[in-house]
Amino acid sequence: MAESTGVPLVLPAWAWQREDVRDALRTRDVSALFRAAQRYTGASQSRIAIATGMLQGRVSEIVRNTRAVTTLDLFERIADGLSMPDDARMLMGLAPRHPAGLDHLSASGRAELIAVYPTQSTALSDIQGLANAAKEVDILAVRGLGIIGLNDSILRSFVKFGAPTVRVLLLDPDCEAAHRRASEVGESYGSFSSGIRLSIERLRELAAAGVDVEGHIYDLLPTWRVIGLDNTLFVSAFGEIHEGHTSPMYRIAGSPHGALHRGFRRFMGELRRTARRVV
């Protein structure tokens, strides 16, 4: 029976949830993705080539790991050719096809989860736009260097000159979870913990300069990274490979019908209550 051509391949929805496929997405292992496409659709290399707009010989080289995929354009063509759903696209570091990735939500859900960004850099203008007028800033991070700990961090100037109330939760540099996280991101514990201590000292500098700032340290393995600007939260996640700023980021606003905003606010409040204040 001849294979169909000219249309994208469609993997079963469950295939995208398999851990081997998700690992391939996280590491951008196109060879593994192509092998999964063959396994779960029965497609040949020629069929994959047609779906992704590539030569069959190029597909063969990728499957054999003798050629690497490095360009964003080709990653996009592969994602389209494999009918990759938005959550898989974002796991691979690509933007969702539906601009906010929210078409499956009801009106009340869209009122709470109002935007999805492939990484923090694509959310930067929105974050800084809200930070410009924010009266309250809540940060949950590991080291916080990219958010507030350095002079060119994304919120440093807004916090320093805007005089908001600032509450920061950072990982305890002396806890067991700091050792685990350093190992996950491939850093020495000494280098990793020094970054946290640097951010704590920079918070103390802000406090000495008159900024209304609190600094707390927690001892859980980091999972969530949150930038709260008044009633808006920008949420991303830490994984075994990804740092928070490289994972997809979600913009969440308070909604009478939504649970995410309330849940993250409650989580941060409880974490702050049980953490140790250092600034």
Query: Domain 107-277 class?
Result: alpha beta
13-91 and 107-277 in the same fold: no
**What are the boundaries of each domain within the chain?**
13-91, 107-277
Separation CA 162–CA 259 (nearest Å)? 30
Q: Which residues contact 99 (CB under 8 A, 6 or more apart)?
A: none
Return the C-alpha torsion angle 32, 38, 44, 46, nearest 10: -40
Beta bridge partners of 142: none
The region of weakest confidence among 78-82, 102-106, 145-149 is 102-106
pLDDT tens, residue by residue, 115-139: 888 777 888 888 888 888 889 999 9
CA separation for the pair 217, 171 (Å, rounded): 5
State the architecture of 13-91 in CATH terms.
Answer: Orthogonal Bundle (1.10)
Predicted TM-score (pTM) of this structure: 0.63
pLDDT at 219: 95
